[in-house]
């Protein structure tokens, strides 16, 4: 077990608002440089591929595990979901300069409907690889929306949007949005149920983040709804007896 990096006040605000901004370096300088270099290697090896499509890259790239399982990351997560922590997913979400697609308003929990028995203890660490700001399409959230009921969705164009559906615009209070402007190696943390999205990148700068997603191992993952999906135990006990790769 490491040492929690969020105090009780920060954890309480996360539970109330559904997010937290961590503005200190997440990884050591050398480790952050290594993660950035690994992403650049992946991009170079996939010419012509949109760089927002590198989903679950750790399934086939084991060099990502030293970052995903780093105590510096897990110590941010434990105060929010407890000591029994599983790795659910990861995703490089990169918006190319000028053409990076919009991320429509959504909740992660809605997109994962039926895959867990509940959704109240899943946290995403959104680690900024590049500087992320309003100009290049940083993430934005609706504070407190993780406490809302279910959301209704409408179809959107996937040429302009990362995902095929979005929460109906009339159901989102855009004026309440908080924008997550982050320097490289800073991160945000958000609840899987919070409404969030991002504008398209119309700037001359790339905007890349690495999402690392963790869940309380007391939650049950539904095997028949997750064919081929792999789980790892990061810390603590596999309370619900989920099928995991490392134990």
Q: Write out pLDDT tens, residues 128-186.
A: 999 999 999 999 999 999 998 789 999 999 888 888 999 999 999 999 999 999 999 99
User: Taking Cα atoms as reference points, which of 72, 89, 64, 185 lies closest to residue 129?
Assistant: 185
Contact (Cβ atoms closer than 8 angstroms) between residue 95 and residue 207: yes
Residue-averaged pLDDT of the chain: 94
Residue 247 pLDDT more than 70? no
Q: Which residues pair with 54 in a beta bridge?
A: 92
Contact (Cβ atoms closer than 8 angstroms) between residue 123 and residue 89: no
Domain boundaries, the chain: 8-235
Region 9-15: mean pLDDT is 97
Handedness of CA 148, 100, 189, 87 (dihedral sign): positive
Q: Tokens 């001359």: give the residue.
A: 204
Q: Write out pLDDT tens, residues 98-132.
A: 988 899 999 999 999 999 999 999 999 999 999 99
What is the CATH topology of the domain spanning 8-235?
Jelly Rolls (2.60.120)
What whole-number distance in Å separates Cα of residue 175 and Cα of residue 183? 24
Residue 1 pLDDT more than 70? no
pTM: 0.94
């Amino acid at each position: 077990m490491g040492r929690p990096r969020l105090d009780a006040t920060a954890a309480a605000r996360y539970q109330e608002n559904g997010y937290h901004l961590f503005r200190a370096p997440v990884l050591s300088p050398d480790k952050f440089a290594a993660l950035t270099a690994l992403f650049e290697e992946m991009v170079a090896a996939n010419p012509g591929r949109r760089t927002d499509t590198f989903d679950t890259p750790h399934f086939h790239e084991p060099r990502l595990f030293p970052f995903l399982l780093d105590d510096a990351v897990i110590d941010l997560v434990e105060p929010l979901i407890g000591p029994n922590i599983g790795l659910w997913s990861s995703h490089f979400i990169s918006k190319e300069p000028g053409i990076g697609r919009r991320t429509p308003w959504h909740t992660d929990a809605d997109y994962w409907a039926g895959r867990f028995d509940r959704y109240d203890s899943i946290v995403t660490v959104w680690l900024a690889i590049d500087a992320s700001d309003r100009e290049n399409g940083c993430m934005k959230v609706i504070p407190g929306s993780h406490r809302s009921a279910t959301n209704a969705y409408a179809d959107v164009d996937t040429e302009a949007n990362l995902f095929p559906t979005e929460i109906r615009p009339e159901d989102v209070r855009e004026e309440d949005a908080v924008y997550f402007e982050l320097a490289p190696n800073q991160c945000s943390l958000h609840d899987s149920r919070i409404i969030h999205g991002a504008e398209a990148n119309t700037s001359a700068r790339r905007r890349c983040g690495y999402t690392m997603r963790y869940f309380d191992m007391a939650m049950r993952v539904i095997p028949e709804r997750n064919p081929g999906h792999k789980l790892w135990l990061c810390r603590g006990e596999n309370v619900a007896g989920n099928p995991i790769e490392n134990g």
